A and B are shown apart, each in its own frame.
Chain A
């Protein structure tokens, strides 16, 4: 039982990380129907900026809490600027191009950002400075740390905040209007350029936050760390229904849990026929089954066939 509980905790934390990253994907997709594949790289840059800033400040003798906050701030600012620049440079000129074009551009931007990060930070793995005191808890034989609790809380709070933003503010209303029909929204006086830019900036800020969380949790960073993370988060967003904020959260947590339980129990369930290297199969079988019965994901809205 303690093992089961431990696996649930593992999955919950991993899933919350996926969810945090998935929120960035889903936000941009919800408004302009674009899958921003460079989002994983924004997360990566958030982590690396934090390492540089917090690491330098720590060396200069600043207290850990202050250095950590400064690192987080710097990461959020850099990523917001990056998100804005990405939209302005790579996606805005292609807004009226066929849908495949911005998608390919997004993949291209992802590669550009990876290589840029490789040139700036080098190929080596970097250790993330310990920003949080290591506090271990034990509950019924399962171990967990303070950072794990923080990750779950932060991603839940972020989702709540985003829901408030989208459904309770004027900017949120403009976002929803743009999502429904950009042309009509602009006729109603919505500056859709600003709304879309805002979506990118906010999504990237979340990416930075996710980056800092990932860094603090695993204490390791690398210029390619965003790729797999982005792919998994994208899967989570699709599972939950891409474009839906609560769906991203649910999809993320679900994916994390499926992975953890899959890796933990697949061997026992198949009598040792399949080992833990098949853990991804579990996740993707669930994804396929969900998409077969609900093509728009768990929480996704039904979209009409536009063609």
Chain B
């Protein structure tokens, strides 16, 4: 095996191995567990950095292993895969730190961290899958590994959320499987390739290809929480905060959105998909999801549920970007994949901090929270402004490219959708900020757990991760032109996807 073969495997292994060892560790070995977790996360980041440098220089990393005749378990670490891998690896490190602080003294931590590592492994597998078979294997693994995390607390609501989550995702998986096997049947393989693989297929009736597209998109759309398949996401918010933060803001929903990207660009090919009249319906579904998610968010009093509906809305920005024909929309959508991740994880970290420190779960309880926890609220504000697309934040960049992309594709209605959504975002985020900063402190907090000590408003392990990710939100916005920004990487991907299109 050459280095180019084992590097993708090592990326998988750097979270799989700690995960498996952690299962075997007794509950009380906190120190070993923490060390293993951090070692895995750091090792993964180092490996990913190597891959990034290599791919930027034009190297190709791939690994292949035959499971059945004609069916391979195949990985490739191309530019698109690395966009998602880097995001997940970086946020895994932050979330691990956060989870160590959050779950201090909670029961069943071995189980929690074990499944947590498995989830990250599954996400990596999804990102690096080089064919639909591999994608499906890890897609289902992600479903299975998240279930124990959703029901972690074992309360009746947790059980209910978990059951709903399973019902949605398993049915989605079944649809996906049907689509994949059908495609294998027509094509003889399910490889991902730049520019799509279906265009070369002659003789298959158009309706079959359209039906397969519907099955595949419905399958991944469940995880991407496309309306009307989004019902599980707000219910799954009963999970502990680090789970909501990493999985439901980043890994699971992004796995779905990432699947849409792969299917549109590398299975169908964006031009072939447009020729089959598939992109416009997809754009409309995305637009409906954006507006519906924002509208529902407006009426939630539970902070995490409001954030969840906001996720429903924001993830479809990515899908909208994909559905806009042309490189500008692609760049906007892919950049938003990263931008939405860092913004939403910040918001969930902060929501977790409010809940753990002061017992705040509802927006109506947030009066004066900014005075008691200024740093947390600062991070929250930056991310919330980013969601609205305020200049200097990451959100502004993705929104600008998406709007340009919509204009270039001649879909002016999409611009209106984006602007309406920004207004709705403002309508549901600004009141929270106003309450937190301007309203006077209440007489007592709902359930104060961690008393303030001097400047320290909460445990430092809880405070550090949101501050880092909020800084990243600003960084990605201000330095969007730098060669290492998510935007620049998205441009690199679009360049490889649209080789013939001028920019």
A, B from the same assembly: no
